[in-house]
């Protein structure tokens, strides 16, 4: 289990099922230290607003609520769909290549789009599911750029658990991070209570490839929270 889960959804995402309090209560009951609720940005119909971020503070005693958003690339603007007025609230900014983009544009195009936003946005903390086969990426170029900016690449438990990413691609992603020395976060990307905090689908791949423990930000709660703290300056600055 992950003790600080940095990527999960509530019903403020169209695809999420539960409320903030339900997700945090489950996290607390599992013995987790913190949970980032990272609902989708507006390009995917996410409904997170300043009211939620401004007024909801650690609503469940015993577990820390990290405020996040899973943002999307807005290609014609070379930016992400993070409403600038929300940035001051956020602990975690996740960016993923998602179906708001046209499918079938090819690895070079998606890689270039992602590298552009990595270079333009110092607030990005995590690149979500780079192993999504619908949006192929050049792992090496993404890992090199991410490492330079202190960004983590995600190993997404749901994509593997739901068989939405082939293990061969996931292995290739992990091997690239080992070779480049790019840090990773293991996240559940939970959309339902039973998915929260889980790493059981991807943990065997990390073990099989002898992934260095020091490259895993989510290996323990202290390290994960220190990562969030270290990224705070970029967002407030």
Q: Which residues bind Zn ion (CB under 5 A)?
A: 70, 96, 128, 189
Considering beta carbons, is residue 128 or 219 the nearer one to Zn ion? Answer: 128
Those residues with Cβ within 8 angstroms of residue 99's Cβ, 6 or more apart along the chain or in another chain: 44, 134
Shortest reach from residue 67's CB to Zn ion, in Å: 15
Count of C-beta atoms within a 10 Å radius of residue 219: 19
Integer Cα distance of 123 and 117 in angstroms: 10
Shortest reach from residue 7's CB to Zn ion, in Å: 6
Shortest reach from residue 156's CB to Zn ion, in Å: 8
Considering beta carbons, is residue 62 or 99 the nearer one to Zn ion? Answer: 99
Tell me the β-bridge partners of 64.
34
Shortest reach from residue 127's CB to Zn ion, in Å: 10
The tokens describing 139, both together, are 């792992």
Shortest reach from residue 97's CB to Zn ion, in Å: 8
With 0-12 / 13-18 / 19 or more C-beta atoms within 10 angstroms meaning exposed / middle / buried, residue 168 is: exposed
Considering beta carbons, is residue 161 or 178 the nearer one to Zn ion? Answer: 161
Residue with tokens 């009211």: 51
Considering beta carbons, is residue 43 or 209 the nearer one to Zn ion? Answer: 43
Residue with tokens 């290739």: 172
When CB distances to Zn ion are compared, the closest residue is 96
């Amino acid at each position: 289990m992950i003790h600080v889960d940095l990527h999960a959804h509530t019903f403020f995402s169209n695809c999420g099922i539960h409320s903030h309090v339900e997700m945090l209560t489950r996290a607390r009951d599992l013995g987790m230290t913190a949970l980032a609720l990272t609902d989708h940005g507006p390009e995917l119909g996410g409904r997170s607003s300043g009211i939620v971020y401004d007024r909801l503070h650690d609503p469940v005693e015993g577990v820390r609520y990290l405020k996040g958003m899973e943002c999307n690339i807005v290609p014609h603007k070379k930016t992400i769909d993070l409403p600038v007025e929300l940035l001051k609230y956020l602990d975690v900014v996740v960016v993923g290549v998602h179906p708001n983009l046209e499918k079938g544009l090819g690895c070079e195009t998606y890689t270039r789009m992602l590298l552009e936003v990595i270079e333009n946005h110092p607030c990005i903390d995590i690149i979500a599911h780079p192993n999504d086969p619908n949006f192929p990426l050049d792992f090496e170029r993404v890992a090199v750029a991410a490492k330079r900016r202190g960004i983590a690449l995600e190993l997404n438990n749901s994509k593997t658990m739901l068989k939405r990413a082939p293990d061969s691609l996931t292995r290739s992603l992990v091997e690239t991070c080992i070779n480049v020395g790019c840090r990773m976060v293991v996240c559940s990307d939970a959309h339902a209570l039973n998915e929260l905090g889980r790493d059981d689908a991807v943990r065997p791949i990390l073990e099989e490839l002898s992934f260095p423990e020091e490259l895993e930000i989510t290996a323990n709660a202290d390290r994960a929270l220190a990562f969030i703290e270290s990224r705070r300056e970029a967002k407030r600055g």
